[in-house]
Structure 1
Amino acid sequence: MKDLLYYQDATISAFHANIIKTDRDENGNYIVLDNTAFYPTGGGQPHDTGWIQDIEIINVEKVEDEIRHYTSNNVSGISGEIFAKLNWTRRFDHMQQHTGQHILTAAFVELFDMATTSFHLGTELVTIDLNVNDVTDAQLADAEQRANEIILDNRPIETKWVTKDELANYNLRKDVKVDEDIRLVIIPDYDYNGCGGTHPMSTGQVGLLKILTTEKMKQQIRVHFVCGNRVLQQLAMRKNVLSDVARQLSAPEEQASEALRKFATAAKQTEKNLKDAQDALLQFEAKEFANENIAARTFENRSIQDLQKLARFITEQNDQAVALLVSTNDDKLQFVAARGKANTTSMKTVSTAALPIINGKGGGSDALVQGGGEKVIPAEALLEAMNAAL
């Protein structure tokens, strides 16, 4: 493995090699070279992409002892020596993020003895899972600061192939899971870790590290962060969002948070006022039915919540009454049946009669039921069936 080009020099972005095999498997057409700088998926790091001659390589996987370069092109006709080129922007991004993960993970261990249990390098964000139930904002800030100190120190990043017996000579952050082809990635006097990924020559090439957010994952804490060019991408995205919010609030960006807080408070009050006004209208509407022992009506586009409230207001104003309300909502029929406190009729008899007619579902109690189903009959016909069930 140590002879592979991406291990000899992680900065190789173009190379010559010979084709030793072309074939197809369940993942598609692939090319096998006598050596390669294309990194295959592994160790939490995504695969490289690029080109072999003018053929686009879209995936790279290690299958048994082969590194297969996958393409959607037909590869049966190519052979001999080729020229290959990596998508260097993608590769360098992966190197920045992967090295940043090493640095941040080591910072959590050094400062708080928090170990990383898993690592994921996504297309936009990077995550590590810490083996703790909680982490404070102050701890996150300290770990971020320590990681950026190591980055700004521009410490060399060394790689070394060792035997299993030689591992005792190194203060490893975690146990190595393999017995041979053991490769260490070393940031001197800071982090010693078994890793098969690609990394830059020094920590300074990571550029910058920024923790963005955290979330609880079962009994662990997931930390989302970005490094290098992704920090600039995240900053640009957040700047655009902040500018848009500030513009819509007619406030300076530095005052957008307070303006948004005031807007949200006003919106909640407006929503409450609107709800109170709607309830008042429903109570006024209920007065129309106050003298009816069976208040039966059909409506268009009334929500089930409005039907429930109207039925309640009707039966509060006349505790002997039964309210039977049906609404046509697009291609659905919905209904509510309710009784006043002085009425002993079970409303379940109404839903038992109504639901089979409209192939519907519903539920409730003896005092109030509701349901809905298909508009297979007019609303007036359903209302008649409900009335007949009393």
Structure 2
Amino acid sequence: MALHERFYYQDAYQKEFTAEVLRQAEDENGRPYVVLSNTAFYPTGGGQPHDTGALQGIAVVDVEEVDGEIHHYLAESLQESGQVEGAIDWERRFDHMQQHAGQHILTASFVELFGFPTVSFHLGKELVSIDLEVEEVTEEQLRAAERLANDILLDNRPIETKWVTEEELDQYALRKQLAVTDEIRLVIIPDFDYNGCGGTHPKSTGEVGLISILGTEKQKRKTRVHFVCGGRVLKQLQKKNVELREASQLLSAPEDGVSEAIAKLQASHHVLEKSLEDAKETLLAVEAKELASSKEETAVIKAAFTNRTIQELQKLARLIAQEDECAIVFLVAKNDTKLQFVAARGSAVSISMKQVAADVLPLLNGKGGGSDAFVQGGGDRTMLADELLEAMERSCNKSSTN
């Protein structure tokens, strides 16, 4: 079946068709598919996703071109072997037509105004994107390209398709070089854009409806532009209105005052965060004094905790060591499947905390580091927290007798 003979190229608006079943089979993953004498189902290609719909009432879930054949993948095997009735999901098809045509127009707008070529195109379920071969695009450039694109829509210019030979290409000012040399299909917006394309498009630019650029992101040395066209613009507007209304209600602020209310909330949040940090520091200082005062005959102060960060253990151990220059501090926390510890010494103690860590880390299959005065580490929960504290104290006692 030649490319130009397929129903979706003869008439992109054809929703139903009749065709003969030429072959039924399954792919390597066991998915049933059929090959037809002709089809209105567009296969994935050129950045445009495949159509969906039904054959004899059975859902068509995927469509691919494989070695020149169009495979219609079905939700279940087709029983008929003769003539079948097909129907495409028109809402999905027309959405793809709007997005694809809108991409052509926006791409041409960036070239027309700034000479920024598009190097790739992606048509997603909610958003569409193009990658521009330029590292930075300003907000003013984005809005200018968006305005020009929408002006082309308002002009309601025809969108023409034409099959040409390689020899005929010189007659057209193509936007970019073509990779194909036979069965060349051009999509033309007169006096604006000439481009080789195998996708489906509406008959005029007005049917695209509207083009809205939503934002950009850096993509290596390129700029990715996210946008929507046609019915997707309305969906995005509705979605944003719902979000704005809910935010307005949560903030008890009018919709046009949401940003101001958020700024006040952030300022208040920062104050609360600072107050919370100050309170935590005060509590740690009190806890350090209590632990320091709990020291009995030996110089060792030890404690086990559950779900406590290594940062808190570090602060607590340093505060205790500052409180008591003769103290040796061992703190352990069990967090999920890990045991973490810190070991610190007061300024009057000479025992190496690095040696303590070296003795206990193999017991945990762990890693750690630090200095003779202060170390931290952690590893697997191969023992109880109290058992780890005992092992650290044994190491300390061994060092003190050597």
* TM bucket, shorter chain: over 0.9
TM-score under structure 2 length normalisation: 0.92
Deviation at 1:131, TM superposition (A): 0.4
Deviation at residue 239 of structure 1 after TM alignment? 1.4
Q: Which residue of 2 aligns with 1:244?
A: 246
Percent of aligned positions that are identical:
57
Return 125-134 or 313-322, whichever deviates more.
313-322
Deviation at 1:332, TM superposition (A): 4.2
Q: In the alignment, which residue of structure 2 is the partner of 1:101?
A: 103
Residue 377 of structure 1: aligned partner: 383
Question: CA separation in 2, counterparts of 1:348 and 1:48?
Answer: 66
Q: Which amino acid aligns with 2:116?
A: M
Residue in 1 that maps onto 2:56: 53
| Aligned-residue offset at 1:236 | 1.5
For residue 116 of structure 1, what is the aligned residue in structure 2?
A: 118
**C-alpha distance in 2, partners of 1:164/1:347?**
78
Aligned to 1:22: 24
What residue ranges of structure 2 are gaps of 5+ in the alignment? 397-402
Residue 70 (structure 1) aligns with:
73
After TM superposition, the structure 1 stretch with the greater mean CA deviation from structure 2, 180-189 or 264-273, is: 264-273
> Do the aligned partners of residues 254 and 182 (structure 1) sit closer, same or farther apart at CA in structure 2, a change above 3 Å counting?
same
1:282 lines up with 2:288 in the alignment? no
The structure 2 residue matched to 1:37, chosen from 35, 40, 51, is 40
SS in 2 for 1:128: strand
Mapped to 1, the partners of 2:153 and 2:226 lie a distance apart of 18
Q: Return the alpha-carbon distance in structure 2 between the equivalents of residues 24 and 289 of structure 1.
A: 71
How many residues are aligned here?
A: 389
Mapped to 2, the partners of 1:289 and 1:212 lie a distance apart of 56
**Of 242, 260, 264, the match for 1:262:** 264
Task: Within 5 Å, give how 1:183-198 maps onto structure 2.
Answer: 183-198=185-200
- Judged with a 3 Å threshold, the aligned counterparts in structure 2 of structure 1 residues 109 and 341 are, in CA distance, closer, same or farther, namely farther
Correspondence 1:316 to 2:322: yes
2:307 is matched with: 301
Partner of 1:362: 368
Deviations for 1:111-153, whole angstroms, at most 9, x for unmatched residues?
Answer: 1100000001111111100000101111111111111111111
Residue type at the aligned position of 2:45 = G
Measured at CA, do residues 54 and 344 of structure 1 come closer, stay the same or move farther in structure 2, by a change above 3 Å?
same
1:25–1:302 Cα change, 3 Å: closer
- Alpha-carbon shift at residue 365 of structure 1 (Å): 3.0
Name whichever of 350-359 and 130-139 sits farther off: 350-359
CA distance in 1, matches of 2:243, 2:52: 31
**Aligned residue among 175, 182, 185 for 2:184:** 182
Q: What is the root-mean-square deviation in Å for CA atoms of aligned residues?
A: 1.7
Q: Which residue does 2:400 correspond to in 1?
A: none
What does residue 164 of structure 2 align with? 162
Partner of 1:334: 340
Q: Which string of whole-angstrom CA distances, capped at 9 and with x for unpartnered residues, describes residues 342-376 of structure 1?
A: 54432111212222333433333333222233444
Shift of 1:62: 1.0
In structure 2, what is the Cα distance between the partners aligned to 1:26 and 1:276?
Answer: 63
2:386 counterpart letter in structure 1: E
Cα–Cα, structure 1 residues 289 and 57, in superposed 2: closer, same or farther, change >3 Å?
Answer: closer
Matching residue's letter, 2:147? Q
Unaligned runs of 5+ in 1: none
